[in-house]
Amino acid sequence: MKILIAEDDMHIRQGLSDLLAQEGYEIEAAENGKIALDLFKNSKPQFVILDIMMPEMDGYSVCREIRAVDNDIPIVFLSAKSEEIDRVIGLELGADDYISKPFGTREVVARIRAITRRYLKDSHSETADNNDSQSTSFNFGELEVLPNELRAKRGDDCIDLSLREIKVLQTLANHQGEVVSRDLLFNECWGYDHMPNSRTLDQHISKLRKLIEEDPTDPQLIKTVHGAGYRYE
């Protein structure tokens, strides 16, 4: 899923890009509204994050242009402006949410995940006849993994997952009983143009184990095969 981030502050733009890339999103970034609109037209993102106060073209204007051709793409405003009227204007223009600066990373991730769930559910309902394997629920041990909800369920318990965590589980499930190499995991879950980094992968697996394993210190679902990769048994 591709997100377009339009933000003129370089540090915020890069920080958001890095944060959401870790979640598993593909990122396009723009430093002003005009570039953002050009990227929207050419790159076809599925999600847009717009700062309001930007050079060349402000976020409100970009939103109007986008909504003139696409009523469905999720749009989130990101701004230091906190007056109620600014929120009202943004929502009336068709924004799905409004995040005020300064913000915490957990808040941003939670809101983006919530909107992504709605988008995935709507997209899946429109293409249900296509039998999209990337959105079909699957079992992983005692877990029922629900890609469209970015969640897994164990009985009545729900576990929130990122897009990348879903991809890792899907890849391991598709090769159940086999050793999945680090290169294959990187190619399937990060992309072929990503430079492999063992520490990055180990950190993601460790975090995932803490979420889904009954005892992360003695993992039963995702086994480490030393020198080779990982295996789901």
Which stretches of the chain are DSSP H helices?
Answer: 10-23, 33-43, 59-69, 84-92, 105-126, 163-174, 182-189, 198-212
Say which DSSP state 212 is in. H
How far apart are alpha carbons 163 and 190 in whole angstroms? Answer: 11
Distance CA 45, CA 72 (A): 12
Whole-angstrom distance between the N-terminal and C-terminal Cα of the chain?
Answer: 29
| Two structure tokens written together for 101 | 């600066």
- State the pLDDT at residue 93: 82
pLDDT for the residue numbered 191 = 75
Q: What long-range pairs does 193-199 form, CB within 8 A, spacing at least 24?
A: none
**Residues of the chain with confidence (pLDDT) below 70:** 81-87, 123-135, 192-198
At residue 225, the pLDDT reads 94
User: Which residue has 């965590």 as its token pair?
Assistant: 165
3-state secondary structure of 222: strand
Q: Give Rg (Cα) of the chain.
A: 19
Query: With left for phi above 0 and alpha for psi between -120 and 50, is residue 207 left, alpha or beta?
Result: alpha
Cβ–Cβ under 8 Å, residues 217 and 226 = no
Q: Kindly state the greatest CA–CA separation across the chain.
A: 58
- Owner of token pair 């933000």: 7
Q: What is the pLDDT of residue 131?
A: 47
Looking at residue 95, its pLDDT comes to 86
**Rounded to the nearest 5 degrees, what angle is found at the Cα of 150, between the Cα atoms of 144 and 156?**
45
d(CA 230, CA 233): 10
Do the two domains 2-126 and 162-232 of this chain adopt the same fold?
no
Domain 162-232 part of CATH 3.10.580.10: no
Distance CA 233, CA 220 (A): 8
Q: Which CATH architecture has domain 2-126?
A: 3-Layer(aba) Sandwich (3.40)
pLDDT of residue 150: 92
Q: Which helix (H) or strand (E) is 155 found in, with range?
A: none
Instruction: Give the whole-angstrom CA distance, residue 233 versus residue 224.
Output: 11
Is the distance from CB of 98 to CB of 79 less than 8 angstroms?
A: yes
Report the length, in residues, of the chain: 233
Domain ranges of the chain: 2-126, 162-232
Q: What is the pLDDT of residue 120?
A: 82
- Global pTM value: 0.81
